[in-house]
């Protein structure tokens, strides 16, 4: 099992930036992908970005965040980051970090991610 702890959420004005962090511990060697998802009340959880956990670097992004968000990793620190720039009101959500062992399938398939953090709230005011 992998434990995930998110941090870095907060409230900023539209156009601002935030950097989310996700610290992983436990059986991290079993993880092949790390992802960020977000959810607002009454809506399904949606994939924001995913990154390969080690070795070759592969990243995937939701169309809505391409060019504004960047996912990165620090393997020495077992930490994944989500740099969010040019934030919009529609980015307001609870953001969750997740870990995935399985290869294959859609990058944003939340059911394929087996370990989840508690989430960190991001609120963008216009």
Per-residue pLDDT at 94:
98
Sign (positive/negative) of CA torsion 80, 25, 99, 32?
Answer: positive
pLDDT on residue 103: 78
Q: Which long-range contacts (CB under 8 A, 24 or more apart) does 87-90 make?
A: 87/12, 87/14, 87/15, 87/16, 87/17, 87/18, 87/122, 87/124, 88/14, 88/124, 89/14, 89/124, 89/125, 89/126, 90/64, 90/124
Largest Cα span, the chain: 41
- Which residue ranges in the chain fall short of pLDDT 50? none
């Amino acid at each position: 099992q992998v434990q995930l702890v998110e941090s870095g959420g907060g409230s900023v004005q539209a156009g601002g930036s935030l950097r989310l962090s996700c610290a992983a511990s436990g059986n991290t060697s079993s993880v092949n992908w790390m992802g960020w998802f977000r959810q607002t009340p009454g809506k399904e959880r949606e994939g924001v970005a995913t990154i390969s956990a080690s070795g070759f670097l592969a990243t995937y992004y939701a169309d809505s965040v391409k060019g504004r968000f960047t996912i990165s990793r620090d393997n020495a620190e077992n930490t994944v980051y989500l740099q969010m720039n040019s934030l919009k009101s529609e980015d307001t959500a609870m953001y969750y970090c997740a870990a995935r062992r399985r290869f294959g399938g859609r990058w944003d398939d939340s059911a394929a991610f087996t370990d989840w953090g508690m989430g960190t709230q991001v609120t963008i005011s216009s």
